[in-house]
């Protein structure tokens, strides 16, 4: 009898122990499940906050840097060198002055007189350098336009006097990558094109004014008013002279709105 009671007691203890272990395991499982749910909830809340934050933050738009300005060197008389924002070098009517050391990418000639055509002064030319003369600029009586990735070149009328025929002379309008425009009259008197140029709101304009082979200062002033550029610059102001391509006293008499005097050897930015 005593032995039987002992066995029953042992069985009871084992049953109680097993029950306790089972409850502990269930408690642990419940705790683990609760912990996982809390962690998942926390992650969900964090993701939601991040999404809201991203939605609230304004989108960052990268703005393109504005295109730089071309630089114009007035070499004297009608000779001009331009270095574009892309580093391309343009020479116009080479004849006088300094600054012919940069390799040429484009050469523009307005007509065939010797004081506009001394291309040998340009020391080097890049392999793809092009030369546009009055012959290429006028085809079948029509003034041509030439497109490059660094400049647009439009040939326009020039001449209309006893020394310069409209059939063999041109001026040029250059449009650079930043949208700035430049008119070079070439050797000329008043042309039919000038009146329509006012509609274009040109930025810079050079006018010849020597009064011997071309229009005089009074006519050049009227032409500048007709064209209406923002900046008006006199050039080719005295007859060709191998030693001097600029006359300050003559330049001072160019009395027009937006007058800008650029001395021989001076460089300006076209902006």
Per-residue pLDDT tens over the stretch 59-88:
555 566 667 899 999 999 999 999 999 999
Give residue 55's pLDDT. Answer: 52
CA distance 148 to 132: 12
Annotation: CATH topology of 70-270? Metallo-beta-lactamase; Chain A (3.60.15)
Give residue 83's pLDDT. Answer: 98
| More confident position, 260 or 63 | 260
Residues in Cβ contact with 185 at an 8 Å cutoff, skipping those fewer than 6 apart: 158, 171, 205, 206, 207, 208, 223
Burial class, 215, CB count within 10 angstroms (exposed 0-12 / middle 13-18 / buried 19+): buried
CA angle centred on 116, ends 269 and 179, rounded to 5°:
30
Whole-structure pTM value: 0.76
Q: Is the pLDDT of residue 115 over 60?
A: yes
Other CB atoms within a 10 A radius of the CB of residue 170 amount to 30
Give residue 67's pLDDT. Answer: 72
- HSE, CB side, 13 Å, CA atoms: give it for residue 40: 6
- Nearest residue to 233 (alpha-carbon basis) of 203, 211, 212: 203
Q: Is the pLDDT of residue 11 over 60?
A: no
CA distance 245 to 262: 12
For the chain, give every domain's residue range.
1-62, 70-270
Q: Is the pLDDT of residue 222 over 80?
A: yes
């Amino acid at each position: 009898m005593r032995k039987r009671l002992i066995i029953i007691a042992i069985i009871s203890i084992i049953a109680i122990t097993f029950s306790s272990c089972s409850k502990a395991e269930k408690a642990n499982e419940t705790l683990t499940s609760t912990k996982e749910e809390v962690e998942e909830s926390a992650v969900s809340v964090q993701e939601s906050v991040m999404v809201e934050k991203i939605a609230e933050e304004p989108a960052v738009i990268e703005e393109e840097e504005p295109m730089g300005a071309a630089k114009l060197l007035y070499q004297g008389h009608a000779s001009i060198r331009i270095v574009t924002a892309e580093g391309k070098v343009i020479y116009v009517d080479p004849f006088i002055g300094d600054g012919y050391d940069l390799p040429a990418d484009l050469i523009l000639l307005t007509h065939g007189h010797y004081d506009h055509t001394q291309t040998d002064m340009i020391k080097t030319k890049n392999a793809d350098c092009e030369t546009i003369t009055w012959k290429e600029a006028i085809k079948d009586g029509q003034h041509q336009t030439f497109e490059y990735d660094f400049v647009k070149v439009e040939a326009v009328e020039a001449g209309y006097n006893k020394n310069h025929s409209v059939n063999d002379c041109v001026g040029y309008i250059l449009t650079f990558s930043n949208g700035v425009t430049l008119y070079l009259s070439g050797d000329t008197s008043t042309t039919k094109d000038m009146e329509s140029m006012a509609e274009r709101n040109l930025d810079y304009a050079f006018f010849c004014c020597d009064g011997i082979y071309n229009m005089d200062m009074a006519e050049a002033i009227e032409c500048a008013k007709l064209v209406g550029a923002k900046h008006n610059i006199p050039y080719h102001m005295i007859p060709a002279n191998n030693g001097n391509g600029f006359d300050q006293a003559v330049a001072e008499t160019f009395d027009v709105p937006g007058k800008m005097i650029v001395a021989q050897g001076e460089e300006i930015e076209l902006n």
